[in-house]
Amino acid sequence: MLYNILKILRYLTIFVSYIMKKNRPHIIVLPKVFDPRGSLTFAEGGNHVPFDIARVYWIYDVPAGAVRGSHAHKEAESLIVATSGSFTVHLSDGKSTESFQLNRPFEGLFVPSGYWRTLDNFSSGSVCMVLTSLPYSETDYIRDYNEFLKSCGNHE
């Protein structure tokens, strides 16, 4: 009986950890198929990506020193992948900031809604691919940082 209780507690811990992680930014390792002719990585919505994919876009030819992003989404979730080269993603929830260096085409950064994002430090030739959970809608964007802080309950 004690064994069964411990087993249930273990599964509950795993489940709670999954739920907590889903609502926090984190790196998702995507499948990587090695082939001597070249590797292949893929992502399936609802499987490798924790949402159904509604839109895909990519950013490239970023001039040296340029900053991209500088917005938050009210509802949309994203998976950001450096398909080529590297760049840094800075995320803020209005209270703390975390930075992620992306440089592997088989790793994506999951960004839940409600996080301010800026992307910088793009290497020459880098390509940033973004998978999102919703089609484009300007009403989903918060483009003013002070407005973002107010939406988080922070008044600076």
Other Cβ atoms within 10 Å of 15 Cβ, number:
10
Residues of the chain with pLDDT under 70: 1-22, 154-156
End-to-end, the C-alpha distance of the chain in Å comes to 54
From the list 71, 73, 90, 155, the catalytic residue is: 71
What's the pLDDT at 92? 96
Distance (Å, rounded) from C-alpha 117 to C-alpha 58?
A: 15
> For the chain, what is the mean pLDDT?
89
As given in the structure block, the two tokens for residue 23 are 């609502």
Q: Tens of pLDDT along 113-153?
A: 999 999 999 999 999 999 999 999 999 999 999 999 999 87
Closest CA to 57 of 34, 89, 81: 81
Domain containing 114: what range? 26-151
Number of domains making up the chain = 1
**Residue 12 located in a structural domain:** no
Distance (Å, rounded) from C-alpha 30 to C-alpha 69?
A: 23
What's the pLDDT at 6? 59
| DSSP symbol at 118 | E
Annotation marks residue 71 as catalytic: yes
- The answer to whether 26 and 104 have CB atoms below 8 angstroms apart is no
What's the pLDDT at 23? 84
What's the pLDDT at 17? 46
**Residue 5 located in a structural domain:** no
Other Cβ atoms within 10 Å of 101 Cβ, number:
12
**Residue 14 located in a structural domain:** no
**Residue 134 located in a structural domain:** yes
Q: Which residue has the tokens 């993603």?
A: 89
Containing 149, the helix (H) or strand (E) segment is helix 145-151
**Residue 156 located in a structural domain:** no
CATH number for the domain harbouring residue 57: 2.60.120.10
Q: What is the DSSP string of 71-83?
A: EEESS--EEEEEE
- The answer to whether 129 and 58 have CB atoms below 8 angstroms apart is yes
**Residue 63 located in a structural domain:** yes
139-154 in b/e form (b: 16+ CB < 10 A) is: ebebeebeebbeebee
**Residue 56 located in a structural domain:** yes
**Residue 15 located in a structural domain:** no
